[in-house]
């Protein structure tokens, strides 16, 4: 089910051989086209592919001065930028192994990764990051011989710290690549670590190139496409789809200034493609719902009519539904509702590629109905990362689509999704036991996700095998499905369903502060005091709203108790991974006393 990208000059993996070879191929084919744009010194600056190549030569020269050997690990802790690309490409050209780090990760986790991979060089964004890192235990960072910092340091230390300006030469000659071995290790990318320490996933040049090529063939990209990049490049999803794939297809990438300025950057640059996790769409959806709740009933009815009519239109276009007379209203509804929503995303968005976590159906339905073409995919860090995706022509938002080019998927024991293909990792860094446990005896990668295939061939995720709750009566419940359904009510900003071994299910929920103010007033309780959530009337109010969201679930899959709070779960407070996944064991431990109280007497 391939979708050809008409007239796009795609570089094939065999032509590129390595990630640096891919970049050089693009420079040779499109030297003067704009490759990247970013905000510098108060204005937006463009970089052509040829200009990028010259910059990368300077970075390569700087790496050479450090006397690093092929296969040495080098780490980068930096927001998305041209510098990120230069570091990455220069390292690959020298045969070095890139270890990406999350800017907002905890210092102890970063130190663990640096120590585990014995990185010899670290490029770090700011003095603040370095100062928090250098406060870690003595000996944790002993392998580091070179630390390059993007700004001035405020304190001395025993490490060889250099400012970027003093490390990077003004000019440099173009050098041939050190190797063209596609099977060589390109990057070690650490999984999010929802339980325990993260594992280092080893990906080769061939793994990543194969995956980027599969994504290009599914994406239906067009000449002149503009990507807006805001997911961190340390996230495998953004790195493959929003970076290497754009080099392969010759698309322009704009690096947004920050998440807080994302809305403004969308309007300024009018991207045609974005790569996003569902959380971004959830936030926009919640904002829309909040605004509608404060508006008139006419606005709410008009919005609902636009969504329902737009959905009928979408299903008809997909060949799954008939034409209906109500579609005659679409041009008017689109002008009044759809175009206004799309204008907030720049007005030119053709594809929004969603992955990294399940996209709640109601959110996918709403945006797609209003003309925002979201195509949901699925994958793992271990698979470079994309395994499957919907396309514009074959799109079922509740599903994860079909396998990519050269990727095989099948259901194994307990309906676990098994994967095989050229994008599958080389293994876990220095962890043969974990590597062996991840494969079946006949060589299929065990994803850890339960799935099903519907009558049209679309694949659906049921839930994580390890996260499926088994109630005291033996009934099995995939919590992710229920959490997604509950969070379709914008009042519930974050949700975690619990009940392993218990007689009933409970939900830990983070309440949307803006929406809660109105409801707290109607309930006659303070809107900024979390203790009110233990009030029986307030809990009944929350349970009633939850019940509406999960009414289609089996009778045993009902929520009987809630633990509600106003403080969100974040990366900073240790309750989310850097890829915004719930750290379930940590959340359960953090609220262990409150959870015990939910089941007191049972």
The answer to whether residue 543 is domain-embedded is yes
| Out of 34-43, 75-84, 120-129, 223-232, least confident range | 120-129
Structure confidence at residue 158 (pLDDT): 45
| Out of 127-136, 392-401, 590-599, least confident range | 127-136
Instruction: Determine the 3-state secondary structure of 198 from DSSP.
Output: coil
Q: What average pLDDT does range 212-224 have in this prediction?
A: 89
| Closest alpha carbon to 349 in 361, 362, 338 | 338
The answer to whether residue 3 is domain-embedded is no
- Based on the domain organization, do 313 and 423 belong to the same domain? yes
C-alpha dihedral (228, 234, 239, 242), degrees to nearest 10: -10
Q: What average pLDDT does range 470-494 have in this prediction?
A: 84
* pLDDT top residue among 116 and 475: 116
Distance CA 93, CA 168 (A): 16
Q: What average pLDDT does range 12-38 have in this prediction?
A: 97
Q: Is the pLDDT confidence value at 555 over 60?
A: yes
Structure confidence at residue 310 (pLDDT): 98
Owner of token pair 């790195």 = 239
Structure confidence at residue 3 as a pLDDT band (50, 70, 90): very low
- Based on the domain organization, do 294 and 404 belong to the same domain? yes
Structure confidence at residue 438 (pLDDT): 95
Owner of token pair 């071994």 = 501
CB 495 within 8 A of CB 509: yes
Q: What average pLDDT does range 504-515 have in this prediction?
A: 94
Structure confidence at residue 383 (pLDDT): 98
- Based on the domain organization, do 488 and 532 belong to the same domain? yes
- Based on the domain organization, do 67 and 196 belong to the same domain? yes
Phi, psi of 521 (to 5 degrees): -65, -45
- Based on the domain organization, do 444 and 475 belong to the same domain? no
Structure confidence at residue 4 as a pLDDT band (50, 70, 90): very low
Structure confidence at residue 193 as a pLDDT band (50, 70, 90): low
Structure confidence at residue 192 as a pLDDT band (50, 70, 90): low
- Based on the domain organization, do 443 and 487 belong to the same domain? no
Query: What's the DSSP call for residue 413?
Result: G
pLDDT tens per residue across span 340-351: 999 999 999 999
What is the tally of structural domains in the chain?
Answer: 3
Percent of the chain past pLDDT 90, that is, above it, reads: 72
Percent of the chain past pLDDT 70, that is, above it, reads: 96
| Out of 122-126, 150-154, 278-282, least confident range | 150-154
The answer to whether residue 7 is domain-embedded is no
Q: Is the pLDDT confidence value at 467 over 90?
A: no
The answer to whether residue 8 is domain-embedded is no
Structure token digits, residue 70: 């092929």
Which helix (H) or strand (E) segment holds residue 386: the answer is strand 386-389
* pLDDT top residue among 223 and 520: 520
CB 242 within 8 A of CB 227: yes
| Burial of residue 589, with CB atoms counted within 10 A of its CB: 0-12 exposed, 13-18 middle, 19 or more buried | exposed
Q: Cis peptide leading into 385, omega within 30 of 0?
A: yes
Owner of token pair 């020269």 = 61
- Based on the domain organization, do 312 and 384 belong to the same domain? yes
Q: Is the pLDDT confidence value at 32 over 90?
A: yes
- Based on the domain organization, do 417 and 514 belong to the same domain? no
Structure confidence at residue 138 (pLDDT): 54
* pLDDT top residue among 519 and 555: 519
CB 213 within 8 A of CB 241: no
pLDDT tens per residue across span 362-395: 899 999 999 999 999 999 999 999 999 999 999 9
Structure confidence at residue 406 as a pLDDT band (50, 70, 90): very high
Q: Is the pLDDT confidence value at 200 over 80?
A: yes
The answer to whether residue 424 is domain-embedded is yes
Distance CA 245, CA 212 (A): 5
Neighbours of 412 (CB within 10 A): 13
Phi, psi of 552 (to 5 degrees): -85, -5
Domain boundary among 239, 274, 309: 274
Name the most confidently modeled range: 1-10, 180-189, 470-479.
Answer: 180-189
Distance CA 265, CA 277 (A): 18
Domain boundary among 224, 239, 274: 274
pTM for the structure as a whole: 0.84
Neighbours of 414 (CB within 10 A): 10
Q: What average pLDDT does range 48-57 have in this prediction?
A: 98
- Based on the domain organization, do 507 and 531 belong to the same domain? yes
Structure confidence at residue 98 (pLDDT): 98
Structure confidence at residue 463 (pLDDT): 79
Which helix (H) or strand (E) segment holds residue 470: the answer is strand 469-470
CB 449 within 8 A of CB 465: yes
Domain residue limits at 372: 277-464
Q: What average pLDDT does range 244-258 have in this prediction?
A: 97
Report the mean per-residue pLDDT for the chain. 91
The answer to whether residue 194 is domain-embedded is yes
The CATH number of whichever domain residue 359 belongs to comes to 3.40.50.12780
The CATH number of whichever domain residue 570 belongs to comes to 3.30.300.30
Using only C-alpha atoms, the chain has a radius of gyration, in whole angstroms, of: 25
Structure confidence at residue 464 (pLDDT): 79
Domain boundary among 218, 246, 274: 274
Structure token digits, residue 164: 């970027």
């Amino acid at each position: 089910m391939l979708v050809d990208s008409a007239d796009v000059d795609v570089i094939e993996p065999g032509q590129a051989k390595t990630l640096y070879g891919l970049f050089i191929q693009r420079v040779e084919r499109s030297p003067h086209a704009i490759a990247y744009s970013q905000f510098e010194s108060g204005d937006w600056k463009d970089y052509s592919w040829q200009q990028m190549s010259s910059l990368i030569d300077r970075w390569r020269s700087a790496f050479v001065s450090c006397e690093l050997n092929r296969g040495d690990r080098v780490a980068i802790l930096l927001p998305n930028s041209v510098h990120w690309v230069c570091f990455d490409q220069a390292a690959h050209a020298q045969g070095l192994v890139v270890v990406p780090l999350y800017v907002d990760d905890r210092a102890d986790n970063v130190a663990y990764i640096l120590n585990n991979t014995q990185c010899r060089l670290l490029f770090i964004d700011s003095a603040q990051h370095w100062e928090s890192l250098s406060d870690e235990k003595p000996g944790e960072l002993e392998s580091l011989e070179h630390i390059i910092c993007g700004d001035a340091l405020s304190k001395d230390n025993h490490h060889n710290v250099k400012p970027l300006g003093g490390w990077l030469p003004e000019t440099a000659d173009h050098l041939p690549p050190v190797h063209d071995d596609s099977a060589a290790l390109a990057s070690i990318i650490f999984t999010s670590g929802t339980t325990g320490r993260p594992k280092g996933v080893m990906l080769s040049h061939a793994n990543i190139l194969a995956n980027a090529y599969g994504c290009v063939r599914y994406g239906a990209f067009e000449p002149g496409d503009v990507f807006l990049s805001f997911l961190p490049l340390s996230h495998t999803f953004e790195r493959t789809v929003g970076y290497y794939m754009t080099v392969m297809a010759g698309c322009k990438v704009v690096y947004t200034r920050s998440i807080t300025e994302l809305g403004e950057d969308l309007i300024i640059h009018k991207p045609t493609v974005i790569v996003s996790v569902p959380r971004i769409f959830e936030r926009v959806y919640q904002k829309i719902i909040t605004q509608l709740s404060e508006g008139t009933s006419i606005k709410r009815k008009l919005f609902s009519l636009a969504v329902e009519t737009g959905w009928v239109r979408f299903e008809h276009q997909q060949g799954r539904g008939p034409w209906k007379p109500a579609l005659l209203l679409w041009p008017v509804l689109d002008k009044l509702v759809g175009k206004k929503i799309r204008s907030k995303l720049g007005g030119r968005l053709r594809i929004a590629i969603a992955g990294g976590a399940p996209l709640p159906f109601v959110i996918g339905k709403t945006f797609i109905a209003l003309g925002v073409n979201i195509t949901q995919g699925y994958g793992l860090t271990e698979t470079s990362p994309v395994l499957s995706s919907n396309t514009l022509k074959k799109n079922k938002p509740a599903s994860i689509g079909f396998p990519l080019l050269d990727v095989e998927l099948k259901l194994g024991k307990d309906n676990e999704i098994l994967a095989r293909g050229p994008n599958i990792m080389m293994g876990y860094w220095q962890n043969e036991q974990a590597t062996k446990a991840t494969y079946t005896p006949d060589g299929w990668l065990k994803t850890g996700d339960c799935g099903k295939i519907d009558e049209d061939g679309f694949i659906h995720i049921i839930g994580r095998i390890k996260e499926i709750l088994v109630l005291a009566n033996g009934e099995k419940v995939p919590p992710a499905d229920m959490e997604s359904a509950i969070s379709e009510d914008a009042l519930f900003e974050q949700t975690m369903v619990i009940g392993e071994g218990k007689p009933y299910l409970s939900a830990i929920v983070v309440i949307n502060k803006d929406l809660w103010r109105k409801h707290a007033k109607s309930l006659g309780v303070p809107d900024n005091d979390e203790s009110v959530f233990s009030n029986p009337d307030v809990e009944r109010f929350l349970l009633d709203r939850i019940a509406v969201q999960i009414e289609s679930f089996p009778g045993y899959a009902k929520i009987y108790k809630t633990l509600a709070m106003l403080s969100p779960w974040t990366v900073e407070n240790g309750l989310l991974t850097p890829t915004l996944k719930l750290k379930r064991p940590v959340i359960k431990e953090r609220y262990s006393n409150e959870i015990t109280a939910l089941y007191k007497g049972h």
